[in-house]
Amino acid sequence: MIQPGRPVFWRFILLTTFLLIILAGWNLIQIAGKLNVDIPARPSWVAALTGLSLFAVMVLSGLIVSFSKLRERLWGLLELSWFLDRLPRMAGAIMVLGGVAGFSILSSLGGFQKILSGEDWARIFIFWLFSLLGMWGVKIYRREISWFTALVAVMLSQAALQLLLAYWSQVTSYPFSMGWSETSRFYFPSLFLSKRIYGSEYPLPVLHPTLHLLLTPPYLCDAPLWVHRFWQVAIRYLLLAAVVPVMMKRLGVRAGGGGWLVALWMFLYLFMLPLYYHLAIPLLVVLAGFSLHDDRRNWFVILLASAWCGWSRINWYPVPAIIAAMLYVLETPMRGRTFWGYLWKPALWGIAGVLTALLFQRGYIAMSGVTDVRYFYTSVTSFLLWYRLLPNATYPPGLLLAAFLTSLPVWVVLYLAIRSQKEAFHPLRLGLLFAALAVLFAGGLLVSLKIGGGADLHNMDAYFVLLLIVVSSLVVGRHLREDGVSPQPLSLHWLVVLALCIPVVLPQIQSNIVLARGFDEARTQSVLVSLQEHVDQVNAQGGEVLFITQRHLISMGMLKNVTLIPEYEREDLMEMAMADNIPYLLKFRSDIENQRFALIVVDPLRPVIMSRERSFAEENNVWVRRVVRVILCNYREEAVFPADGIALYVPQSGERKCP
């Protein structure tokens, strides 16, 4: 890495700090307006803004002095020259600990979350101050480390700690679902063991089978709900973290020295997307198994990874073969080969990989017990929401701008790597690299535009993963030039390194830490008792109970004597509504109009049509038109538990009324 000079670095620190003070102060004034705070009448607010103003004057004065003859004294003051050799290393360790953990501790406080929950500039400013504290601590503890490296190390460590703690707050024994799809993540895995759990064989999951297959282990030991939540968090960390050492080994980068910073950056990069943990498995298989020296092994890992993708996601069917092909292109010079002589092997991998994925998908469909094959192809029939390419309520930056800005620093590195080695690649090799990235970029955008998507970049995961593999290989020299020689690693300018860190750090700054997610156990227990009483009443009358949501209460035995009705689980129902699966929706309407179910358990239904100015408006409107109104025209609300997002509906009697 090309380190900044002494004057450049400290002027950068002073300028950045000054700008963040101004933005944080403006943020506080906006917050005061939102909270209807009369600033002059509130001493605490006056003190905060006065303190920020004085700090801004001090930092600006330092920036001005940095261009005067007194600048050398300023550098000595900022570098703690007088203290650096006098302070014990333990003081540095304490400062590092405070710098790394300070933001996480602060963001776990209720008052902080209440006031600064969505205020980005104020949070970034606080994060920056802790980064500076940790940077000085690193220099006291290890003086030989450069100032910029120390700053980057603390920033990445803060972000990683925030990421780790944020997910663990989801581990709780709270009995009901804590989000739209959480109950589905508990219910669908149970279908792989339906005979053991329910006493009957039920069709296997349609959506993301491998994801749910990985979540089945807690059912093998009849684990309580908190163990299921623990397992979901743990397996996400384990599988994504496992990609990092495999990638580092392939690149030939050691963990020592600055290697651990590269590993930390990769870990945050994978969570930035985020890469779903079940898709880490084919990535691990290809990265760990591919070798130019063993064709049989290559065929095995490509087909194995493709088979897993056939049970995973349709847009990942070609990805193992594409990754293998790009590794081949990076490590195989064109030298004297013809066009087809160079391409025949990766082309066969691609064809065989996609066919294998399709074959295993058809095999899964055959064994799933699902009678209608169309259920597995909803991603093909769902309509596209093109406006989500641009800034919108569901995803404020818009897909195009977000994908562009997030990947721009990596593309800058790609440009620098290629420019530094103009003769390293035959035009065909470069063309193949760019074509693969373009195909995955376009494919990721297309999937993101499907209704139900477009709220983040997770459908762009294959593109970002391949971009990571290609660029990191070029930076460390893990490729061959046309003369068969591996080039020297590329030294990146410190500004480029900083630009690479920003996209992986910013998402973590926006998250809060919930150290203990409490709930009223007596109240939730009374809700469970009420649910059981309603179920027992229906059973006594010989009726059926449909759980559209909260099915984990059945699979984990929190409710007794419930006969599972596998149809119309909420995520399935929503998927079929968005895909406009007419036969499925007609059967649902028929069952509801005939009042087949004596009791329906679902979240409270509100027939509100939203405009595009509201987040997920199209998804809400499809749900309202094809599910909510159908139920409310034939059922009435019997009981509601708003704190837990649960409502009970029973058939209307007499003349039916629609909302």
* Helices (H), ranges, 510-607: 521-540, 552-555, 570-578, 582-593
pLDDT at 361: 96
Name the nearest CA neighbour of 500 among 419, 397, 400, 411: 411
- Rounded to two decimals, the pTM is 0.93
pLDDT at 387: 94
**Chain segment 276-292, per-residue pLDDT in tens:** 999 999 999 999 999 99
Q: Are 574 and 453 a contacting pair, CB within 8 Å?
A: no
What is the pLDDT averaged over residues 513-536?
A: 90
Confidence category of residue 463, pLDDT binned at 50, 70, 90: very high
Q: pLDDT higher for 429 or 380? A: 429
Range scoring the smallest mean pLDDT among 53-57, 418-422, 607-611: 418-422
What is the pLDDT averaged over residues 436-460?
A: 93
Name the nearest CA neighbour of 585 among 633, 635, 625: 625
pLDDT at 486 over 70: yes
Confidence category of residue 607, pLDDT binned at 50, 70, 90: very high
pLDDT at 294 over 70: yes
Q: pLDDT higher for 132 or 453? A: 132
- Rounded distance between C-alpha atoms, residue 565 and residue 547, angstroms: 8
**Chain segment 332-361, per-residue pLDDT in tens:** 998 888 999 999 999 999 999 999 999 999
What is the pLDDT averaged over residues 567-589?
A: 94
Taking CA atoms, 397 is separated from 299, 390, 393, 404, in Å, by: 41, 7, 9, 10
Residue with structure tokens 């095999």?
A: 363
What is the pLDDT averaged over residues 34-61?
A: 90
Confidence category of residue 399, pLDDT binned at 50, 70, 90: very high
What is the pLDDT averaged over residues 187-204?
A: 96
pLDDT at 258: 81
Query: How many C-beta atoms lie closer than 10 Å to residue 382's C-beta?
Result: 21
Q: Omega of the bond prior to 333 within 30 degrees of 0, cis?
A: no
Exposure of 335 in the CB half-sphere (CA atoms within 13 A): 10
Over the chain, what is the mean pLDDT? 93
What is the pLDDT averaged over residues 619-625?
A: 96
